[in-house]
Amino acid sequence: MTYVQTFFKEIGIAAKLSKQQSGIVATLPATNEAMEQLPVIAFSAHLDTMFFSESPEVIITNGYIETANKANLGADDKAGVAAILAAARWLTKNDQPHGPIEFLLTTKEEEGLTGAKLFDLDIVDASFGYCLDAPGAVGGMIHTSKTHLQLDFWMEVGVPHEKSAIQVAREAMKKIRTTFSHDVGIAWQVYHFGGEILENGNEKVTILSEFVADFPLQECLPYVEQIKQIFIETGVTYKADVQDVTHMSYHHFSLPETAYLCKLAIKAMQTLGIPEKALQLEGGTDANVFNDRGIPFLVLSTGFQNPHTTSERIAVTELEKLTSLILEIVKTAAK
């Protein structure tokens, strides 16, 4: 954040810190009075990267930026940040007419999209934006994203007991899988299942699970309640105490290809000769949060490969292409 603040100051762009260290918004005014009438376009990326114990030893080999050691490069999302800074510097040094532009750089994206959730939108004027945070070749676009919820359950039984806590939990899970086996567009998956003996001799099972759906939260809630009810009813049957907690990870969004921000990106790609491709991203981005908070955001691929691994890398040509795409979107919007 210190580096980015200094960078914007040196190139003459005013930057504001969002509350609770959730990020920075830098504003580049329109080039003239006529351009001030254009909608404010935002470009966003996140400053944090997935944590690795080793710092990356960055090298360039055969046109690819990668690491020489077993560390994560952090192109997710340093690539998006780098392209934004390069585009911002170019715009301050050239006379290309453009409307008002905002650069949103968030923190703690890798920690549950926390920065975007806390971001102070009172200092943001954007009508729409582009989230530069997806793997794959530049030209990829993510118009839609799933709803993601975390469902955590705890089942406790006293001993001696008709069935163990693990057996009771497994019976509930079997009922859930049978109930939802034919439903299209939803998925329920357990990623942690563990039992323990408490100090009072009772058995306790912890079930951590994910619920993912292709539609908005409101349409998900009946399914979530049904899952909870199955756990509760199974617990009642075998006199097991059941507790649960639901966490909202991120909301579904869906942008039609006919939306202005989508058409604008496609036109810019066509001008640059970049093949556009609609993608489905597994996982959430800051775009999920900004869309849910009322600002339409389209997710764009930034060119990095193998994110969150020690073999993460990005081609120099992809970074150049991404920077050109930002500038072309700005130019196209001003025509």
Say whether the peptide bond before residue 307 is cis (omega within 30 degrees of 0): no
Topology of domain 147-250 in CATH is Alpha-Beta Plaits (3.30.70)
CA 69 to each of CA 48, 52, 63, 313: distance values in angstroms, whole numbers, following the listed order: 20, 12, 18, 12
Q: Which of 323, 327, 322 minimizes the C-alpha distance to 137?
A: 322
- Could you tell me if 239 and 157 are in contact, meaning their C-beta atoms sit under 8 angstroms apart? yes
**3 state SS for 274-304:** CCCEECCCCCCCHHHHHHHCCCCEEEECCCE
The pTM (predicted TM-score) of the whole model is: 0.93
- Could you tell me if 178 and 172 are in contact, meaning their C-beta atoms sit under 8 angstroms apart? no
pLDDT of the chain, 335 residues: tens digit per residue: 999 999 999 999 999 999 999 999 999 999 999 999 999 999 999 999 998 888 999 999 999 999 999 899 999 999 999 999 999 999 999 999 999 999 999 999 999 999 999 999 999 999 999 999 999 999 999 999 999 999 999 999 987 778 899 999 999 999 999 988 777 889 999 999 999 999 999 999 999 999 999 999 999 999 999 999 999 999 999 999 999 999 999 999 999 999 999 999 999 999 999 999 999 888 899 999 999 999 999 999 999 999 999 999 999 999 999 999 999 999 999 99
Q: Where are the beta strands (DSSP E) in the chain?
A: 14-17, 23-28, 41-46, 58-61, 64-67, 101-106, 128-132, 140-142, 144-145, 147-157, 186-197, 203-213, 241-250, 253-254, 277-278, 297-300, 304-305, 313-315
- Site of tokens 């549950």: 112
Question: 1-145+253-334, superfamily in CATH?
Answer: Zn peptidases (3.40.630.10)
Q: Which of 260, 266, 295, 290 minimizes the C-alpha distance to 278?
A: 266
Domain locations in the chain as residue ranges: 1-145+253-334, 147-250
